Amino acid sequence: MNRKSLLDLAKKHGTPLFVVDHAELRTNYALYKKHFPRVQTYYAVKVNSDPAIVETFYRLGGSFDVASMQEFHTVYRLIEKLPAKERQEFVWDKVIYANPIKPIETLRELDQYRPLVTYDNVEEVKKIAKYAPRAGLCLRLQVPNTGSMVELSSKFGTPPGEAVDLIRCGHEHGLVVEGLSFHVGSQCTNPENYVQALHLAAGIFAEAKLRGYELKLLDIGGGFPAAYDASVPKFSALARKINHEIDRLFPRSIEILAEPGRFLVASAGTAVCKIIGKAVRNGKLSYYVDDGVYHTYSGVIFDHCTYHLKSFKRGTPQLCAVFGPTCDALDTISLSEQLPDLEIGDYLYSENIGAYSAASSTHFNGFPPATVVHVNW
């Protein structure tokens, strides 16, 4: 969005403000589909679960990766008016419950929908067999996460050497293991993570087949990076490398899934905040704004992400600190922003803040989350 439109929205709706541009969502979705024509796109709802965002991807024909029952129902409400058979087909074909560890209560509720779910250990197989026996299984592998902004393999994934035994375990408990999944880590800028993971998966496909287990699908997870800065590899180059390995290692009969999230929504979100205080601390100009790390800038803490702030006014930039509105010193957005000398009441904005950010907002210290405004919807 242009600066004038952002400023007009801030004056109309107040701050803090979180603006979602659905034209950008559609552009990103089309770009992903263009570069991954063989891949079924499952939007990772956790990245931003705003129902309007989910609905935009639904209208585009998207599928969904959910990791909680709340996320599942955010998707399911879009199809509740369909006939029962079509609802069931939608859940099976277009929803994956991709949290490898699920509470018993969740499994009990999920069973009626007969979904595809991930798992990565024997105890999870036992739970699923008892409480959601109609679910299909997808075994999550532990794969390299080198160079990814958020590492995930220390928490989830079975070692490749144990994979076929876990496939056998699923079948011995009366379940059907449909395929494999992996995740190379969030904001993955190292394409070799995908290459190594695909090779590991191909080896397990072959070993499983020798032992009598025919796998039908491969979920290559998420990690597709948003273009936060010039250091991020070109998406087209990353796609070429991944597609080459997929086509070389897996026949067309194997269904390929992916769970992009950040790539689809990061550039569609913009935050606008207002300066509520100004001081000089240790010789550095410091601004206090009405948004912070407990709200839209939560990615500073939880996502290891850096969001730069820009001014609507021109002026000679100087090194500044920017703090959020709460009384907690942790509420620090940045200690090294280049901003001009501004006044209380002036506005700042941050681009490319659509992923995670607002999804992790709290009411800490009594400060409410930013108002969300949807444009081009």
Summarised one tens digit per residue, pLDDT across range 68-122 is 999 999 999 999 999 999 999 999 999 999 999 999 999 999 999 999 999 999 9
The span from the CA of 186 to the CA of 145, in Å, is 9
The span from the CA of 226 to the CA of 189, in Å, is 9
For the chain, where are the E strands, in sequence order? 17-21, 39-44, 63-66, 95-97, 116-119, 136-140, 148-150, 176-181, 186-188, 217-219, 255-258, 269-281, 284-289, 310-311, 318-323, 332-339, 347-350, 371-375
The reply to whether 279 and 206 lie within a common domain is no
Q: Which of 203, 232, 265 is the last residue of a domain?
A: 265
User: Quick one: pLDDT at residue 231?
Assistant: 85
Annotate 338-373 with three-state secondary structure: EECCCCCCCEEEECCCCCCHHHHCCCHHHCCCCEEE
Mean pLDDT of 305-327: 96
**Cα distances (Å, whole numbers) of residue 27 to 30, 186, 189, 270, 375:** 5, 21, 21, 16, 14
User: Quick one: pLDDT at residue 186?
Assistant: 84
Of 144-158, 285-299, 331-345, give the lowest mean pLDDT range.
144-158
Q: What secondary structure letter does DSSP report for 370?
A: P
pLDDT at 151 over 70: no
pLDDT tens figures, 12-63: 999 999 999 999 999 999 999 999 999 999 999 999 999 999 999 999 999 9
Mean pLDDT of 289-294: 98
58-70 burial: b if 16+ Cβ within 10 Å, else e: beeebbbbbbbbe
Residue 225: asked if its preceding bond is cis (omega within 30°), the reply is no
The reply to whether 259 and 360 lie within a common domain is no
- The count of structural domains within the chain is 2
pLDDT tier for residue 329 given thresholds of 50, 70 and 90: very high
The reply to whether 141 and 283 lie within a common domain is no
User: Quick one: pLDDT at residue 347?
Assistant: 98
Residue 330 belongs to a domain with what CATH number? 2.40.37.10
User: Quick one: pLDDT at residue 72?
Assistant: 98
The reply to whether 275 and 341 lie within a common domain is yes
Location of structure tokens 């409400």? 77
Q: What secondary structure letter does DSSP report for 226?
A: P
Report CA torsion sign: 53, 58, 61, 64.
positive
Length of the chain measured in residues: 377
User: Quick one: pLDDT at residue 233?
Assistant: 86
Q: Which of 231, 265, 299 is the last residue of a domain?
A: 265
The span from the CA of 26 to the CA of 16, in Å, is 25
Mean per-residue pLDDT over the chain, rounded: 95
Instruction: Identify the domain containing residue 73 by its residue range.
Output: 22-265
The reply to whether 12 and 30 lie within a common domain is no
pTM across the whole model: 0.95
Q: What three-state secondary structure class fits 200? A: helix
CB contact set of 122 (below 8 Å; sequence gap of 6+): 166, 169
Q: Which of 217, 232, 265 is the last residue of a domain?
A: 265
The reply to whether 245 and 276 lie within a common domain is no
The reply to whether 258 and 297 lie within a common domain is no
The reply to whether 215 and 301 lie within a common domain is no
**Identity of the residue numbered 10:** A
pLDDT at 152 over 80: no
The reply to whether 47 and 126 lie within a common domain is yes
Q: Give the pairing type, strands 39-44 and 217-219.
A: unpaired
Location of structure tokens 């969030």? 186
The reply to whether 209 and 122 lie within a common domain is yes
Q: How many CA atoms lie within 13 A of 72 on its CB side?
A: 24
pLDDT at 147 over 70: no
Q: Is 188 a catalytic residue?
A: no
Angle at CA 242, nearest 5°, toward 240 and 248? Answer: 100
